[in-house]
Amino acid sequence: MSDSASTRLLTRAAETKLPTPFAEFRLVGFVDRAGKEHVALVLGDVTTDTPVLARVHSECLTGDALFSQRCDCGPQLEAAMRKVAQAGRGVIAYLRQEGRGIGLINKIRAYAEQDKGLDTVEANEILGFAPDAREYDIAADMFAQLGVKSIRLMTNNPKKIAALRELGVDVVERIPHRTEGTPHNENYLKTKSQKFGHML
Ligand SMILES: Nc1nc2c(ncn2[C@@H]2O[C@H](COP(=O)(O)OP(=O)(O)OP(=O)(O)O)[C@@H](O)[C@H]2O)c(=O)[nH]1
Ligand SMILES: [Zn+2]
């Protein structure tokens, strides 16, 4: 993976240890060119040739921190942290691309549209947004700066794999990353698989 300073989108800004119920991670903070702050949770030596267990997780305040059952983000984050802890080695790139890139307030607006019967894609569109506005160049730069050479990616999203490969990330394997559904996220998961091609 490319690590030339001229292509860097992120400044590696701070680092500490992060004890969690699953493992004590290294927490590495990055700042992008727009001033947005992102983090990587790192465990073990991720610079060797053995492919690194990895998750590229997009921020979801409602799911990651507020236990929302509208989506599967919280359980996916926890499962990723557990799997990395179990493996003793891995990286979780936590990208601040809330609401698939439209931001928190717009995601709340999109949820309000879904309360009226639209699905997650239609709700974005009626608000004038692309269904998925995320970009993964920041994750690619994070992996490069962390010295990661290749990854085994925990995801159900084929577009995420394609986008990362396009950016030069060597994704050698996909690890399915399903979680138990709830009555509240059944339709959301169905739409993800029908309209985004998620392998659920
Ligand atoms: N705009 C919008 N964003 C949502 C909605 N539900 C979840 N999100 C955001 O979607 C992102 C997570 O994407 P997902 O589609 O759940 O999963 P993924 O990252 O594409 O794929 P996986 O790697 O398999 O988890 C987070 O940024 C969430 O905040 C929604 O209804 N509308
Ligand atoms: Zn979510």
Share of the chain above pLDDT 70, in %: 96
Are 158 and 176 in contact by the 8 Å Cβ rule? The answer is: no
Query: Per-residue confidence at 3, pLDDT binned at 50, 70, 90?
Result: low
3-state secondary structure of 90: strand
User: 37 φ, ψ to 5°?
Assistant: -105, 135
Q: Which residues sit in the known binding site for Zn(2+)? A: 60, 71, 73
Decide if pLDDT at 66 tops 60: yes
Active-site choice (64, 72, 109, 134): 134
Which helix (H) or strand (E) segment is 104 a member of?
A: helix 104-115
Average pLDDT, rounded, for the chain: 94
Is pLDDT above 60 for 2?
Answer: no
Among 66, 107, 115, say which to mutate for ligand 1: greatest number of ligand atoms within 8 Å of CB.
107
Ligand 1 atom with the shortest distance to the CA of 177: 24
Q: Are 140 and 168 spatial neighbours (Cβ–Cβ below 8 Å)? A: yes
pTM across the whole model: 0.95
**The predicted structure's pLDDT at residue 6:** 59
Cβ-proximal residues to 22 (8 Å cutoff; 6+ apart), any chain: 81, 82, 84, 85
Q: What's the CATH class of domain 10-97+134-196?
A: alpha beta
Quote the pLDDT of residue 174: 98
**For ligand 1, is residue 134 a contact (CB within 6 Å)?**
no
pLDDT in tens, 102-115: 999 999 999 999 99
Atom of ligand 1 nearest to the CA of 156: 24
Question: Mind listing the pLDDT tens digit for each residue in 76-93?
Answer: 999 999 999 999 999 999
- Which residues are paired to 14 by β-bridges? 29
Alpha carbon distance 57, 138 (integer Å): 12
